[in-house]
Homo-oligomer: A and B are copies of this chain.
Amino acid sequence: MSESDPYQFQHSSLLVVISGPSGVGKDSVLRSLKELGLPFRFVPTMNTRARRPDEVNGVDYHFVSTEQFITLLERGELLEHALVYGDYKGIPKQPVREALASGLDVVLRVDVQGAATIKRLIPQAVFIFLTTASEAELNDRLSQRKTETPDSLRLRIATAREEMQRVPEFDYVVVNRDSRLDDAVQDVIAIIRSEHCRVQQRVVTL
């Protein structure tokens, strides 16, 4: 077919950034997307803290030494990074590059600050803000975790309130309502499917 064949539709791999306040269910949505067997590559965040017993390396996070982390940081090989309670976390560029090159969509899970950083670097990524339907729902969900002290709960709620102000920086907002996880998952699936139909494809270069 010639270069100018009008039926030659471009098909680019997408970089999909799933973000939102702590407690809105980013991990649950991701788990469902994986369980449904969708053809995408999830690139976990690198983390220098110690792995917790319930976490799987390469699934929840990619656990690395501080030295490994700093080496990548110095080489400019991180999409974004942050210091969290004395430990570093960040998203490495190389596995994102490899997945995109293989033709797969790449999904990242990052906090709202990290998503904003990635947007400055790669505005053509697809930015999804996941949220609860209300602050009350977020409060209930964080309380049910039972790992939050009253102070950390207040901190998370206050942070979420600030983060909600950044919704306009995102492309899509997906509401993960109580007991309606599947609706949120189907929204994300629809967003990815529709983005592949866009005439102006979002070509990512890293």
Contacts and interface: CB of A to CB of B under 8 A. Distances in A.
Interface of A: 6-7, 9, 128-129, 131-135, 161, 164-165, 167-168, 170-175, 186-187, 189-191, 193-195, 197-199
A199 B171 contact: yes
Contact of A194 (B7, B132, B170, B195): B195
A145 B167 CA distance: 49
B6 A173 contact: no
A172 to B, nearest CB: 4
B172 A6 contact: no
A168 B199 CA distance: 6
A193 B187 contact: yes
B165 A6 contact: yes
B187 A199 contact: no
Main secondary structure on A side of the interface with B: mixed
A186 B197 CA distance: 11
Contact of A131 (B7, B164, B193): B7
A167 B201 CA distance: 13
Given A189-B190, A190-B189, A190-B190, A164 B6 contact: yes
A125 to B, nearest CB: 14
Of A7, A135, A167, A194, which is in contact with the most chain B CB atoms at under 10 Å from its CB?
A194
A19 B173 CA distance: 28
B7 A135 contact: yes
A173 B133 contact: no
Contact of A186 (B7, B9, B193, B199): B193
Nearest to A136: B7
B199 A170 contact: yes
Contacts of A128: 197
B171 A9 contact: no
A187 B189 CA distance: 11
Nearest to A137: B7
Contacts of A187: 193-194, 197
